[in-house]
Amino acid sequence: MRVWLASGSQRRSEMLKPLCQDLYCKGLDSVDETSNAENVSEQVMEICRKKAGSVGKNVNFDLVVVSDTMLQDPDLDSKAIGKPKDAIDAASMLHRLSGRRHRVWTATGILFQNEWKFYLNQSIVEFEDLSDEVLVDLVLNNSWVGKAGGYDLAGEMGRYAKLVDGDESTVLGIAEDAMVIMQGLFG
């Protein structure tokens, strides 16, 4: 089965490689990743659907996967935390999340047999109190680049954060329910 992961995310690629032999990974060109939805779950789903719309239906793959991940601000349920723009933004995000729990939302769309199906899951992650030294290290090692909330749970941040509820795949960028579906298709 030929699969297109329409994402430049290394983590998403690493999750799908063990499942499918013929995986093509290439992100989409300039998709509008803004949303006017009121809550984070609706925002992440809207952006995921925009990515699916950018792909269309007539592709030369048996299966196409699009996904979007956002964090819900621990103080404002309607505010999303996306990817940091630069190191200062990353430091600010990590500082805001330090010593706290937050919700991670991932929406994933799967195009199979010319039909899009969408999945939305959430997980809860808790950060330890991050010392200034740890914050500096996390920012300087660039582990934040391209990561929602400025961290990678399967990377360096895994030493300072833990999954409290939900599934790790949701935090890493593919909705848990979508992973279950794909495991069934490839298994």
Q: How many helices (H) and strands (E) does the chain have?
A: 6, 7
Distance of CA 61 to the CA centre of its chain: 22
Task: Give the integer Cα–Cα distance in Å for 1 and 173.
Answer: 22
Residue 107 makes CB contacts below 8 A (sequence gap 6+) with 44, 45, 47, 48, 49, 67, 68, 118, 119, 120, 175
Tokens encoding 14: 């690493």
Catalytic residue among 22, 29, 62, 68: 68
Residue 91 makes CB contacts below 8 A (sequence gap 6+) with 135, 136, 139, 150
Distances in Å between the Cα of 127 and the Cα atoms of 15, 103, 149 are 23, 12, 12
Task: Give the integer Cα–Cα distance in Å for 121 and 67.
Answer: 11
Task: Give the integer Cα–Cα distance in Å for 104 and 82.
Answer: 10
Contact (CB, 8 A) for 84 and 150? yes
Instruction: Give yes or no: 68 in active site.
Output: yes
Catalytic residue ranges: 68
